[in-house]
Amino acid sequence: MHLITLIPGDGIGPEITKAVTDIFTAAQVPVQWEEQNAGQTTFDQSGELIPQALLTSLEKNRVALKGPITTPVGKGFRSINVTLRQKYDLYQNVRPSKTTDGIKTRYEGIDLVLFRENTEGLYSGLEVYDERLGIADSFNRITKEGSRKICRAAFAYADKHGRKKVTLAHKANILKMAGTLMLNACKEASNEFPHIVFEDKIIDNMCMQLVGKPEQFDVVVTTNLFGDILSDLCAGLVGGLGVVAGANIGDDMAIFEAVHGSAPDIAGQGKANPTALLRSALMMLHHLGEHQHADRIEKALEATLKTKEKCTGDLGGTASTSEFTQSIIANLQ
């Protein structure tokens, strides 16, 4: 039995985490949840954004499934997601995007995995504001070690999963120091994996290439801000934010969560698509070595996705979150 920290989160978080735990229960997955929350909801209840009990649970279990979290904006709070990623050095944010039978898109044959550096860059939290001058500086801190780690992780993943190519998306032509540091780190990592093709693309061209011919990409590695933006773009290529999974991975801890946020516009209405969080939970099962359970649930999910009327509104269906969930459970073989 695996003991896992479960963070329901805010907005649609509780609805989609319930969908996942219901499916896991029905599939008799050997997982026991330890529920701990963070974010707006806990702040409203206790005045704490990240309760100590959550940190203790994470440090004990080392694996978590997390719903999206709302960080109150404009009140001086640091993002909870960024805080957790930095505190536990979860330096890889791994986000696969794949076209799926039944999910209508303009594309075919997309199967790429984005590796977003998850702890530094423009999200390093190094910001100063000079009120007298009216100037704000946000530092784009890139380190040699941080770049080496994320680039190496992307190549090691490609190697392990039989993928052929790694593309670095960067802006070294303008960011002469930070961009070049990352580019050089990636070239160095590529030397260790001569059988994997390495290419680099400037980020603006990368966006155009992704929208025009996304099936050319395999593994993509990039910095924190570019990765944040590219992952929503890639979600848009394969069916939207409701369907793409993610994982924050460090050397000794992993937190699995969807790419999307707390979707306040549809929260509490039974409209949220739990696919993205469910797929994140399946990544978690693979991480735990529970491949058979992951494959069985994935097959049931795929069967439901092929039946339009069983899908949620974002996929053109009419089902509620719980009807969608029940359909997956009914499709478990």
Residues that bind Mg ion (CB under 5 A): 228
Task: Give the residue among 56, 186, 60 at the shortest CA–CA distance from 117.
Answer: 186
Residue whose beta carbon is closest to Mg ion:
228
Residue 178 interacting with ligand NAI (CB under 6 A): no
Task: Give the residue among 309, 324, 316 at the shortest CA–CA distance from 277.
Answer: 324
In the complex with ligand NAI, the residue whose CB is nearer, 263 or 328, is 263
In the complex with Mg ion, the residue whose CB is nearer, 3 or 211, is 211
Residue 131 near residue 233 (C-beta atoms within 8 A): no
In the complex with ligand NAI, the residue whose CB is nearer, 264 or 316, is 264
Q: What angle do CA 202, 204, 206 make, to 5 degrees?
A: 65
Q: How far is the CB of 241 from Mg ion (least distance, A)?
A: 9
The amino acid that residue 268 corresponds to is G
In the complex with Mg ion, the residue whose CB is nearer, 233 or 288, is 233
The whole-angstrom separation of Cα 52 and Cα 58 is 10
How many residues of this chain bind ligand NAI (CB under 6 A)?
A: 20
The whole-angstrom separation of Cα 53 and Cα 42 is 12
Residue 279 interacting with ligand NAI (CB under 6 A): no
Residue 262 interacting with ligand NAI (CB under 6 A): yes
Residue 172 interacting with ligand NAI (CB under 6 A): no
The amino acid that residue 195 corresponds to is H
Contact with ligand NAI (CB under 6 A) among 241, 247, 281, 283: 241
Q: How far is the CB of 319 from ligand NAI (least distance, A)?
A: 12
In the complex with ligand NAI, the residue whose CB is nearer, 31 or 263, is 263
Element (H, E) at 218: none
Q: Sign of the CA dihedral 142, 146, 149, 150?
A: negative
Span interacting with ligand NAI, options 139-147, 169-177, 271-279, 293-301, rule CB under 6 A: 271-279
CA distances from 211 to 8, 96, 221 (A): 33, 16, 17
In the complex with ligand NAI, the residue whose CB is nearer, 147 or 231, is 231
Q: Say whether 202 sits in a helix, a strand or coil.
A: strand
Residue 273 interacting with ligand NAI (CB under 6 A): yes
Q: Which does 8 bind (CB under 5 to 8 A by kind): Mg ion, ligand NAI, none?
A: none
Q: Which does 23 bind (CB under 5 to 8 A by kind): Mg ion, ligand NAI, none?
A: none
Q: How far is the CB of 33 from ligand NAI (least distance, A)?
A: 18
The DSSP-derived string for 248-304 is EE-SS-EEEE-SS---TTTTTTT----HHHHHHHHHHHHHTT-HHHHHHHHHHHHHH
Residue 200 near residue 183 (C-beta atoms within 8 A): yes
Span interacting with ligand NAI, options 44-52, 132-140, 253-261, 292-300, rule CB under 6 A: 253-261
Binding to ligand NAI (CB under 6 A) within 82-121 occurs at none
Residue 85 near residue 119 (C-beta atoms within 8 A): yes
Q: How far is the CB of 42 from Mg ion (least distance, A)?
A: 21
Length of the chain (residues): 333
In the complex with ligand NAI, the residue whose CB is nearer, 179 or 250, is 250
Element (H, E) at 168: strand 165-170
Q: Which does 228 bind (CB under 5 to 8 A by kind): Mg ion, ligand NAI, none?
A: Mg ion
How large is the greatest C-alpha to C-alpha distance in the chain, in angstroms? 66
Binding to ligand NAI (CB under 6 A) within 11-70 occurs at 12, 68-70
Interface residues toward ligand NAI, by CB under 6 A = 12, 68-71, 81, 241-242, 257, 260-266, 272-273, 276, 314
